[in-house]
Structure 1
Amino acid sequence: MDTPVATDTAAREHFYQKISNDQMTPLWEVLHSLVTPLPKTPCLPHVWKWETAFPWLLQAGELISAQEAERRVLVLENPGLRGQTRITHSLYAGLQLILPGEIAPAHRHSQSALRFIMHGSGAYTAVNGEKVFMNVGDFVITPSWTFHDHGNPSDEPMVWLDGLDVPLVELLDAQFMEKGSQESQSTNITAHANLAEFGNSMKPVQYQPRSKTSPLFWYPYERTREALETMKQHNEWHECWGLKLQYTNPATGGWAIPTMGTFMQLMPKSFQGKPYRSTDSTVYVVVEGHGRCVVGDSTLEFGPKDVLVCPSWMPHRFDITDQGDAVLFSYSDRPVQQALDLWREQFG
């Protein structure tokens, strides 16, 4: 038989107060909010319009230099997570501005980073002695704990989206950061050499991986766009996302970055996608085209250079206008969720 228990509310509250002094709390008081039937996130759907963000970036450029700021970035904070410096529970996003003639000094950190180029051409990033000059649509990786600096010898402002796994690393208390001994590191290897080694479905026979991050750190948009255009002629459209490619580590076939999945997709003009949801909150950057993303009860209108976020397990679908095809880059924490057997998706 079950043992009778006290139902005196006052006695229970007195008990809770006493155990609290010893850093304990009753699970039964919080279980319903801790283990929920469905994902419960404060993240909200949102779109950051380029026409709004770019003037703010230029004004930031008038107020502080890249050297003084170290990284002149406007953080994209999710409306449901204000003050937490994150675009989703697990991901960071920011828009970085490098003006002509500027250098963002070298440093390294345990967080992995991606750069997705949104505006301008001719600026560079240098990663562990390898330098790449970047153009709109290029995807560039800065692996964990690698020295990197940026510079802009061109005559126009450069803007890219920085995506990092900062909240994940913070959750694990594994944050480290170190400044470089010089503002700009010396480079002796070009990105084209790196692309020749790893960008043609081959690798040097003596190559031995030292990291789970892709050894190919520059994925030029020209090649990605050409692949999507070829697929457009031969492949069937997926009813939810059109044509979608995953950036991979050419040495292993796995994720390009171990903590962040990265993708590029093409949806044809007048495309009307079916609803889709998954447990990985996703950040999208619009490269080409116009349309809308219907996320739950929100409708996010988008055009080139806009950034939008779709929270975890929230149904969303894409409608593309008849003005032309749409191309979107995206990233999420899917690799981490899959590694932990947590990831789920649902169609319709």
Structure 2
Amino acid sequence: MATQTLPTPAVVADSADKLVRDLEGSATLPLWAQMAKLNPALPNPRCTPHVWRYDEVRPYLLRAGQVVSEKQAERRVLMLVNPGRNEAPYTTDTIYGGLQLVMPNETAAAHRHVAFAMRFIIEGNGGFTAVHGRRVQMNRGDVILTPRWNWHDHGKDGSGPMIWLDGLDLPQFRHFPVHFVEHFKDPRYPAEDIDTDASPIVFKWHKMQARLDAQAGDWASQRYTRNDGSEVSKTLGAAAERVTAGKSSPIRQETASSMYHVVSGSGRTIIYGPDNEEEKLTWKRNDTFCIPTWARFQHFADCADGAGGAGDVYLFRCDDVPMITSLGFYRTSEDDAEGLVSH
């Protein structure tokens, strides 16, 4: 009887590409295909340096005051959206900024949330904010804190708009989905007026400017801190800077990112690239700009013109230094890399 010969199965050559294709549906991905992306040689922020010009944004904000009611808005804010990401809530990769408007006799209804907020008052008189039963007045240059889970509402007496810059840690809640918001049953949470100058959540500009002016040199920087010397929150911090007219700040490069607001004066910030190419951000009073992590930057104040012109530059800065530091991620280009080794 003849022996039947069976066909030999075709041998399919294996390959790295075939392996990746075969992984589909396995809920796994090959690290080797994304090693450079996940382990970059340098920090790789998605957000880019940018300036939001107050003279351009303010008319839109005032239009919103006419066509968007306080009830429709809850908070009438134009968010400062970084063009590098083109989505909220990213002013930098870790900081949310927005310009908020309250019109006369309006109430931004009471609510509370996990997110921490700080507010730099830009424009207006007669505005107030009530934080967990304590009502304080808003004045230009004030920094007012809204600690986590405190009931708060905002209002405005008198004429004209009240505008301020909000800084919140909202981007963190894209990574930690633990953010809650609760609305109070009434538009305003019961509150009493207190002495704004004595409030621990209000930092008056004239006091900060005096500290800056008392510091020697062409550049001065002072942190906003609580009475015990600690940062204003565990996630976001704040500082103020002075640059003498016609002078510059030191070149800095750090793993923190920051949102700057121009309190007074005009000038420019130079971002130095890896091959010393330069990107220039020009700004003036009331503009807001951002510096991403690890950007190498330097501020320059315009020269005073002798006729009441530019003068010294004063800047307000909201940054993520407290969070980056507490996580052990803060460093500057001046640090000895070997000294960063943990044990």
Partner of 1:263: 239
Q: Select the residue among 214, 226, 245 that pairs with 2:222.
A: 245
Structure with higher helix content: 1
Identify the residue that residue 125 of structure 1 maps to in structure 2.
129
2:280 alignment partner, SS class = strand
Q: Distance in 1 between matches of 2:45 and 2:242?
A: 28
1:12 maps to 2:16 = yes
Deviates further, 49-58 or 166-175: 166-175
Partner secondary structure for residue 333 of structure 2:
strand
- 3-state SS of paired residue (2:329): coil
Distance 1:171 1:277 in 2: 25
8 Å CA contact retained: 2:271, 2:279: yes
Q: Say how many residue pairs are matched.
A: 313
Q: Which residue of 2 aligns with 1:212?
A: none
| Structure 1: gaps (5+ residues) | 1-7, 196-215
Taking the aligned partners of 1:23 and 1:287, their CA distance within structure 2 comes to: 51
User: Structure 2 stretches of 5 or more lacking a match?
Assistant: 1-11, 273-277, 305-310, 336-343
Matched AA of 1:39: P
Counterpart residue type for residue 249 of structure 1? R
Decide which of 291, 307, 313 is 1:310's aligned counterpart. 291
Deviations 1:37-62 (A, max 9, x none): 10012211110111101111111111
Which consecutive aligned stretches of 4+ in structure 1 deviate over 4 angstroms post-superposition? none
| Counterparts of 2:212 and 2:296, CA distance in 1 | 25
Indicate if the aligned counterparts of 2:197 and 2:204 stay in contact, CA closer than 8 A: no
Larger Rg: 2
CA displacement at 1:76 relative to structure 2: 0.4
**Paired AA for residue 219 in structure 1:** F
Contact 1:130 1:191 in 2 (8 A): no
Task: Report what 2:3 is aligned to.
Answer: none
The Cα shift of 1:69 comes to 0.3
**Structure 1 position 285 matched with structure 2 position 261:** yes
2:151: which partner in 1?
A: 147
Aligned to 2:203: 219
Aligned: 1:157 with 2:175: no
CA RMSD in angstroms comes to 1.8
**Normalising to structure 1: TM-score of the pair?**
0.86
Quickly say closer, same or farther: Cα 1:99–1:25, change in 2 above 3 A.
same
Residue of 80, 84, 100 corresponding to 2:84: 80
- 1:236 deviates by 3.6
- Name the SS for the 2:245 alignment partner: coil
| Alpha-carbon shift at residue 194 of structure 1 (Å) | 4.4
Q: Distance in 2 between matches of 1:19 and 1:99?
A: 57
CA distance in 2, matches of 1:295, 1:121: 36
Percent identity reads 32
* Secondary structure of the structure 2 residue equivalent to 1:346: coil
1:334 has 2:321 as partner: yes
The letter of the residue matching 2:20 is Y
